[in-house]
Amino acid sequence: MTPEYKKIVQSVKTKQFAPFYFVEGEENFYIDRITELFENNILTPGEKDFNLLVLYGKDCTWSDVVNACRRFPMFAERQVVILKDAGSLREFSELIGYLEKPSPTTVLLIEHRFKKGDGKTKIIKYLRDKGMSFCSEKIKDTQMPGWIQEYGREIGFGIGDREAQILATFLGNDLQKIVNEIEKVRINAPGEKELTAAMIQKHIGISREYNIFEFPEVMTSGDTDKFYRMLSYFLSSPKAAPMPLVIGAFYGHFNKLYGVHFTRGMNEKDASAAIGTWPNKLRDYQSQAQHWPLQRVERALLVLGKYSAYAVGVDNNTDDRELLKELIGQLMN
């Protein structure tokens, strides 16, 4: 979450209201959360009946918005006016007159979803500079695992690196969908404090059998039968194992093994924190590190560095299937 988002939330919680707020952008998840916050956390249930006004840009005029903002609250200290889908409001720029002299008893939220406002216009500049504003950007695919782990920390539900990667890979960057699936797990496993791959398989339905993020661990664990079944599957279904994803999965795994070699002698809590994993997973990495000495792990990381360039087409025109065979051959050598 960005500082701007946190600032708006804190403003509502402490009741230190700005005269108007502006939220914009392509990612609806945070816009919806802010809108719900304004709808449910400023007025009491009794006050909302008379003092919460929700207008839609496509169904009203700019004067309707101004008239709503200028009215006095009824049986309450303030009123809340929410303008949804402001990008559809005709003559949106006419609101500038109200924004320059806002009503002290009105809290106005303007949401401009699906895209950013035109920063060249006077009204958008004014909204961003003079009010509290927040731009809800789409989360990049590469940032999704980190976002998922941060959300887990926010709700007090541990989500490890591998589990976050699994969710990001199979659920994409639809934040609401990801949140819904995590909440489904928590409802079905109310006593659990940490997400596991088994819980993902059981409650979300993402199979572990041919999971690209399980692949490196299976290789280093010594389970050759399962490893070659998985390799055969990925070679026959290259779309399930795009090379950039393969490189990322293997690099993350070998980076953990590398860290294990430098945490010997530490207690379990400190060692887990040092390599960024949970204590129960630390034991798995420690067991595998016994069969992968430091020199072998360092060589694997060098190989992955070389193939990460190949994966994006640098000095290479080999397809992913052949690259995967080459990579595995180099790592297993």
161-171 and 175-188 helices, crossing angle to 10°: 120
| Percent of the chain residues topping a pLDDT of 90 | 62
pLDDT at 206: 66
First-to-last alpha carbon distance for the chain, in angstroms, is 44
Q: In this predicted model, which residue has the larger pLDDT, 173 or 109?
A: 109
Low-confidence winner among 98-112, 204-218, 234-248 (lowest mean pLDDT): 204-218
Q: Model confidence at 13, in pLDDT bands (50, 70, 90)?
A: very high
pLDDT at 292: 93
Provide mean pLDDT across the span 227-239: 85
- What is the C-alpha separation between 160 and 281, in angstroms, rounded? 9
Q: In this predicted model, which residue has the larger pLDDT, 254 or 242?
A: 254
pLDDT at 174: 87
Residue with tokens 């003079």, as numbered in its chain: 130
Provide mean pLDDT across the span 230-258: 86
Encode pLDDT of 27-46 as tens digits: 999 999 999 999 999 999 99
Q: Model confidence at 207, in pLDDT bands (50, 70, 90)?
A: low
What does CATH list as the number for 139-208? Answer: 1.10.8.60
Provide mean pLDDT across the span 232-248: 83
Q: Model confidence at 8, in pLDDT bands (50, 70, 90)?
A: very high
In this predicted structure, the answer to whether residue 209 has a pLDDT above a threshold of 80 is no
CATH superfamily of 3-135: P-loop containing nucleotide triphosphate hydrolases (3.40.50.300)
How do 79-84 and 52-56 pair as beta strands?
A: parallel
- What is the C-alpha separation between 175 and 30, in angstroms, rounded? 9
pLDDT at 65: 97
User: DSSP labels for 125-169?
Assistant: HHHHHHSEEEE-PPPPGGGHHHHHHHHHHHHT-EE-HHHHHHHHH
Select from 74, 66, 141 the least CA-distant residue to 98.
66
In this predicted structure, the answer to whether residue 171 has a pLDDT above a threshold of 90 is no
pLDDT at 152: 95
The pTM (predicted TM-score) of the whole model is 0.66
pLDDT at 2: 82
Mean pLDDT score across all residues of the chain: 90
Where exactly are the structural domains of the chain? 3-135, 139-208, 209-333
Provide mean pLDDT across the span 221-235: 88
Provide mean pLDDT across the span 192-217: 80
- What is the C-alpha separation between 296 and 279, in angstroms, rounded? 24
Encode pLDDT of 288-298 as tens digits: 999 999 999 99
Residue 174, token pair as written in the block:
């639809």
Encode pLDDT of 102-157 as tens digits: 999 999 999 999 889 999 999 999 999 999 999 999 888 778 889 999 999 999 99
pLDDT at 208: 52
pLDDT at 257: 93
Fold of 209-333: Zinc Finger, Delta Prime; domain 3 (1.20.272)
